[in-house]
């Protein structure tokens, strides 16, 4: 599908529009408009990153099972390595959710 | 008409006449018939208005009328703030509590107005020197220390008999359970498995808390949302600790750890204590008024605990939108902050091996 503006362009334009309106809005609505603009920005970055969607299995490991193993102590011996390996995944998610947060 | 049915999604304000009667019944000076009720922007989870009358200003905070099961208790909030006020913790003077089904429909509290700034960025801008920031930080520590001396069962125990509110991590309520951490970690485990059983980083954080528990200490009254955004700061320093929505029985480092969390440093990440300064200054103030010698290690533990609480709170807000509990976009999008929380958790756990 080659519709223009595409979803990424529309969400970017929507974010900009909402931020502009927020400056003119009464106090009680300004914050709500900024939150809406923030959401439009998230959608824009999600689309650009092809959306970091939930994956029940990452690197061949079932995440729900992994959580159970961690909570009940079965992964205590390699928990430091596990933490290290999680950092890259979280950094990727942060690049969409809050760019720059991991660099600060 | 409920807020969800209104075109602007805003709860209708209480009438001036009802507010006037509530103030008179609470033995406040008669504010007269010319009362203005103005929305107070800022809070996402409760509705709030500024009340202005002939006798002064107040703040009225109310559960959203469309919310069938509020997540926190206004009665508990009122009692916690009252106990703190009586213990000379800087607090906006609590005036009255109105139960659900009463004159304001849903549960509400009224507090006296306090002058000062509650915006973290304004507070940080007002205190632009190290000396000024340290003085404020020391005062904040002193307030936390005074708070920790309050008998939690006497303070909010009365609220719990009829308090069916299920707060995250608040399994022990205020029954004086000595092992408040065990109760909290058990509640966190249940919440994690219910809200997000597929997030290993949160599970690692929880496991870290289980393994690295500090020595047992008697629980105290904690504010539960102790951060720069809930402090009123005036020309003479700290004027009030506001928004006691999450006050509860907790480990005595809970508030100090929460205060140090990165989201509440507002870009001043090098200043661990609320973006204002170092932890040592905060602890100097705390240890000057508390009856317990607080250690940095215990605060570090509480910071991890606070991150977990904050993460579960964000997930719960997001889930509640899907479940039809609220229609608030700001609360929905909290779920997308989870990556920040996971990142902060991983960094915090790296600090101590």
Give pTM, 2 decimals.
0.90
How many separate helices (H) and strands (E) can be counted in chain B? 12, 9
pLDDT tens string B208-241: 999 999 998 888 999 999 999 999 998 889 999 9
Measured between beta carbons, the chain A residues lying within 8 angstroms of B197 are 64, 67-68
Q: Does the pLDDT at position A31 exceed 50?
A: yes
Tell which residue, B184, B191, B192, has the closest CA to residue B217: B184
Q: What is the pLDDT of residue B180?
A: 87
Claim to verify: residue A101 and residue A79 sit in the same structural domain: yes
Tell which residue, B245, B10, B65, B233, has the closest CA to residue A31: B10
pLDDT tens string B52-92: 999 899 999 999 887 777 888 899 999 999 999 999 999 99
Question: Are B191 and B238 spatial neighbours (Cβ–Cβ below 8 Å)?
Answer: no
Claim to verify: residue A86 and residue A44 sit in the same structural domain: no
Claim to verify: residue B132 and residue B105 sit in the same structural domain: no
Of A36, A39, A101, the CB nearest to B340: A101
Could you tell me the CATH number of the domain that includes residue B94? 3.30.200.20
More confident residue, B325 or B171: B325
In terms of residue numbers, what domain contains B277? 120-351
Rounded Cα distance between B283 and B259, Å, is 12
Measured between beta carbons, the chain B residues lying within 8 angstroms of A80 are 353
How far B54 CA lies from chain A's nearest CA (Å)? 24
Measured between beta carbons, the chain A residues lying within 8 angstroms of B193 are 67, 71
Claim to verify: residue B78 and residue B168 sit in the same structural domain: no
Tokens representing B265?
Answer: 């440093």
pLDDT tens string A40-84: 999 998 888 875 555 555 656 799 999 999 999 999 999 999 999
In a domain, B227, yes or no: yes
Q: Residue B64: which region, alpha, beta or left (left: phi > 0; alpha: psi -120 to 50)? A: beta
Q: What is the pLDDT of residue B162?
A: 44
Predicted-complex ipTM score: 0.83
In a domain, B107, yes or no: yes
Contact B343 A80 (CB under 8 A): no
Claim to verify: residue A66 and residue A38 sit in the same structural domain: no
Claim to verify: residue B35 and residue B177 sit in the same structural domain: no
Q: What is the pLDDT of residue B161?
A: 45
In a domain, B259, yes or no: yes
What DSSP string runs through B186-235?
HHHHHHHHHH-TT-HHHHHHHHHHHHTPPPP---EEE-SS-SGGGEEEET
Q: Is A20 exposed, middle or buried (0-12, 13-18, 19+ CB in 10 A)?
A: exposed
pLDDT tens string B245-257: 999 989 999 999 9
| Number of domains composing chain B | 2
Cβ pairs bridging A and B (under 8 Å): 97
Q: Does the pLDDT at position A30 exceed 70?
A: yes
**Considering chain A, what percentage of its residues have pLDDT values greater than 70?**
85
The residue length of chain A stands at 104
Rounded Cα distance between A95 and B100, Å, is 44
In terms of residue numbers, what domain contains A41? 1-51
Claim to verify: residue B250 and residue B328 sit in the same structural domain: yes
In a domain, B212, yes or no: yes
Tokens representing B4?
Answer: 């969800």
Assess A20–B contact: CB distance below 8 Å, yes or no. no
Claim to verify: residue A76 and residue A91 sit in the same structural domain: yes
Claim to verify: residue B69 and residue B203 sit in the same structural domain: no
Could you tell me the CATH number of the domain that includes residue B243? 3.90.1200.10
pLDDT tens string B287-337: 999 999 999 999 999 999 999 999 999 999 989 888 888 888 888 889 989
Q: Where are the beta strands (DSSP E) in chain B?
A: 36-39, 47-53, 56-62, 94-98, 108-112, 220-222, 231-234, 237-241, 248-250
Residue to substitute from B207, B211, B337, B345, interface A, most A β-carbons within 10 A: B207
Claim to verify: residue B228 and residue B283 sit in the same structural domain: yes
Claim to verify: residue A60 and residue A93 sit in the same structural domain: yes
Of B10, B204, B340, the CB nearest to A82: B204
Q: What is the dihedral of CA B310, B227, A100, A43, to 10 degrees?
A: 50
| Number of domains composing chain A | 2
In a domain, B290, yes or no: yes
Q: What is the pLDDT of residue B173?
A: 45
Question: Are A18 and A36 spatial neighbours (Cβ–Cβ below 8 Å)?
Answer: yes
Claim to verify: residue B140 and residue B229 sit in the same structural domain: yes
In a domain, B9, yes or no: no
Of B330, B337, B343, the CB nearest to A90: B343
Q: Which of A83-97, B131-145, B180-194 has the highest mean pLDDT?
A: B131-145
Tell which residue, B108, B109, B100, has the closest CA to residue B164: B100
Nearest Cα residue in chain B from A36: B329
Last residue of a domain, one of B61, B87, B112: B112
The model's confidence at residue B177, banded by pLDDT at 50, 70 and 90, is low
Q: What is the largest CA-CA distance in chain B?
A: 63
In a domain, B11, yes or no: no
Assess A81–B contact: CB distance below 8 Å, yes or no. no
Last residue of a domain, one of A36, A51, A66: A51
Quote the distance between the C-alpha of residue A59 and its chain's center. 20
């Amino acid at each position: 599908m080659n519709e223009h503006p595409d979803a990424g362009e529309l969400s970017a334009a929507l974010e900009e529009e909402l931020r502009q309106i927020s400056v003119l809005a009464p106090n009680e609505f300004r914050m709500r408009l900024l939150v809406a603009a923030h959401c439009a920005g998230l959608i824009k970055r999600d689309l650009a990153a092809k959306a970091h969607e939930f994956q029940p299995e990452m690197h061949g490991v079932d995440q729900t099972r992994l959580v159970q193993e961690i909570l009940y102590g079965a992964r205590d011996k390699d928990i430091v390595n596990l933490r290290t390996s999680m950092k890259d995944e979280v950094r990727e998610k942060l690049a969409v959710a809050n760019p720059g947060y991991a660099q600060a | 008409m409920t807020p969800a049915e209104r075109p602007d999604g805003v709860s209708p304000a209480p009438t001036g006449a009802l507010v006037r009667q509530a103030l008179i019944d609470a033995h406040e000076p008669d504010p007269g018939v010319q009362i203005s009720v103005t929305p107070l922007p800022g809070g996402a989870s409760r509705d709030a208005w500024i009340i202005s009358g002939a006798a002064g200003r107040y703040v009225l905070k109310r559960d959203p009328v469309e919310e069938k099961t509020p997540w926190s208790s206004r009665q508990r909030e009122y009692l916690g703030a009252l106990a703190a006020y009586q213990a000379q913790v800087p607090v906006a003077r609590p005036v009255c509590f109105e139960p659900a089904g009463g004159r304001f429909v849903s549960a509400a509290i009224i507090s006296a107005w306090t002058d000062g700034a509650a915006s973290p960025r304004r507070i940080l801008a007002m205190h632009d020197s190290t000396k000024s920031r340290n003085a404020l930080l020391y005062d904040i520590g002193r307030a936390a220390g005074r708070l920790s001396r309050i008998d939690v069962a006497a303070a909010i125990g009365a609220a719990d008999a009829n308090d069916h509110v299920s707060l995250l991590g608040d399994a022990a309520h205020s029954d004086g359970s000595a092992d408040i951490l065990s109760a909290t970690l058990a509640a966190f485990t249940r919440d994690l498995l219910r809200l997000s059983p597929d997030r290993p980083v949160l599970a690692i954080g929880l496991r870290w808390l289980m393994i690295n528990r500090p020595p047992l200490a008697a629980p105290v009254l904690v504010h539960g949302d102790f951060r720069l955004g809930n402090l009123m700061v005036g020309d003479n320093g700290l004027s009030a600790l506001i928004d006691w929505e999450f006050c509860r029985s907790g480990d005595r480092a809970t508030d100090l750890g929460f205060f140090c969390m990165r989201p509440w440093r507002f870009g001043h990440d090098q200043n661990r204590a609320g973006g204002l300064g170092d932890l040592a200054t905060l602890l100097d103030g705390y240890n000057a008024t508390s009856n317990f010698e607080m250690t940095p290690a215990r605060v570090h533990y509480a910071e991890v605990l606070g991150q977990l609480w904050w993460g579960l709170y964000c997930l719960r807000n997001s889930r509640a939108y899907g479940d039809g509990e609220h229609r608030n976009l700001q609360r929905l999008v909290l779920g997308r902050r989870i990556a920040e929380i996971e990142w902060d958790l991983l960094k915090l756990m790296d600090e101590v091996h």
